[in-house]
Amino acid sequence: MHTGLGGALVNPKRILVALMLALAISGVCTWLVSKKLTAPPATQKIADATYVAPSMALQAGEVLGPGNTELVAWPENIPLDGAFSRTADVMGRAVLFPLVKGQPILNRDLSATGSGNGLASKIPDGMRAVALRSDEVVGVAGFLIPGSHLDVLVTYRPDGSSDPLTVTVLQDAMVLAAGHQVEPDPEGKTLDVTVMTLLLTPEEAQRAVLASTQGTIHFVLRNGRDSGRTGEPATLLSQLAGRPALVVRTAMRGTAPVVAAKPVHHEIETILGGSSDERPAKAQDGGAGQ
């Protein structure tokens, strides 16, 4: 026991206890503040939207119903344009493309409401299905399957011309059906069919029908990733012999210009009063004398 200033008694043990309590309180406060500063910010849970999706894998042409659809959760901050929030909105509509289980169904994946089943359900709004027949020998029958992309050529003889020609009338047309087959064979087998049903615009459908009445149709298979369009002119039979050609009009609207062979010109020997100008007769055909 010590006597401090003014005669007050000072207890060293009390001072020590007070210092220890102050140190402990300071340490606890420091720990609480540091924990609050280093704690990660609380993540706000994003509400889920629900969209209609297949409850199993679906193939093109299958019709949606209660047995093959379900509602799946989807982040509300990632909206899907054309998705459905009610299963009643997709009942009875056919699938245009294969869909996997749990993939939200979009309006573009389905046939138009009331279009029915079968091939008609696979035709999008504004498009047409046209069947064309090709020669079995020159076509690529056996290699064309539903989903293939092809060009359509026609060989015909224009009015007033003795020279047949071949011209491309359609490019990058998709095959909807090969014969009666609307889906590729699961085992990869092909069918030797000569009738192809193509998905075309109305304007392309008119050209295809007109071409089918003019001559022989040919299908030219192309890479499905190649959607380029070319402007190749028509090819005349005379060009196969290497003759030069002139550009003339075609009878079919929308086709590439027809290339016509150069006309044949002749030089004539002139005889005047019993004397003649001895010049050999020539015929120009492709620039080569005869």
Residue 71 in any domain: the answer is yes
Residue 201 in any domain: the answer is yes
- Whether 246 contacts 260, CB under 8 Å: yes
pLDDT score at 140: 61
Q: Are residue 57 and residue 81 in the same domain, yes or no? A: yes
Higher per-residue pLDDT: 19 or 252: 19
In percent, how much of the chain has pLDDT > 70?
Answer: 68
Given 185, 206, 231, the domain boundary residue is 231
Residue 169 in any domain: the answer is yes
3-state secondary structure of 116: coil
DSSP readout, 44-91?
PPPPEEEEEEESS-B-TTPBP-TTSEEEEEEETTS--TTB-S-GGGTT
pLDDT score at 86: 92
**How confident is the model over 73-113, as pLDDT tens digits?**
988 888 888 999 999 999 888 887 788 999 999 988 887 77
pLDDT score at 257: 52
Q: How many residues does the chain have?
A: 290
Q: How many helices (H) and strands (E) does the chain have?
A: 2, 17
Residue 27 in any domain: the answer is yes
Tokens of 144: 């064309």
pLDDT score at 97: 76
Residue 259 in any domain: the answer is no
**How confident is the model over 194-211, as pLDDT tens digits?**
788 899 999 999 999 999
Q: Are residue 199 and residue 213 in the same domain, yes or no? A: yes
Q: How many domains does the chain have?
A: 3
Closest CA to 210 of 165, 150, 169: 169
Q: Are residue 144 and residue 191 in the same domain, yes or no? A: yes
- pLDDT bin (cut points 50, 70, 90) of residue 277 is low
Higher per-residue pLDDT: 186 or 163: 163
How many C-beta atoms surround the C-beta of residue 189 within 10 A?
Answer: 10
**How confident is the model over 135-171, as pLDDT tens digits?**
654 556 567 788 889 999 999 988 877 788 899 999 9
Q: What is the dihedral of CA 76, 82, 87, 88, to 10 degrees?
A: 130
Residue 244 in any domain: the answer is no
Tokens of 40: 């990660």
Given 58, 91, 125, the domain boundary residue is 125
Tokens of 174: 């998709």
Q: Are residue 65 and residue 10 in the same domain, yes or no? A: no
Residue 233 clears pLDDT 50, i.e. is over it: yes
Q: Are residue 120 and residue 65 in the same domain, yes or no? A: yes
Beta bridge partners of 192: none
- Whether 146 contacts 183, CB under 8 Å: yes
Sign of CA dihedral 142, 145, 228, 135: positive
**How confident is the model over 31-42, as pLDDT tens digits?**
877 777 775 665
Domain with 110 in it: 46-125
- Whether 167 contacts 132, CB under 8 Å: no
Beta bridge partners of 71: 52
Give the Cα separation of 55 and 74 in Å (integer).
15
Q: Are residue 121 and residue 216 in the same domain, yes or no? A: no
- pLDDT bin (cut points 50, 70, 90) of residue 254 is very low
Given 209, 231, 253, the domain boundary residue is 231
- State if pTM tops 0.75: no
Q: Are residue 141 and residue 221 in the same domain, yes or no? A: yes
Name every residue whose Cβ is closer than 8 Å to that of residue 160 and which is 6 or more positions away in sequence.
none
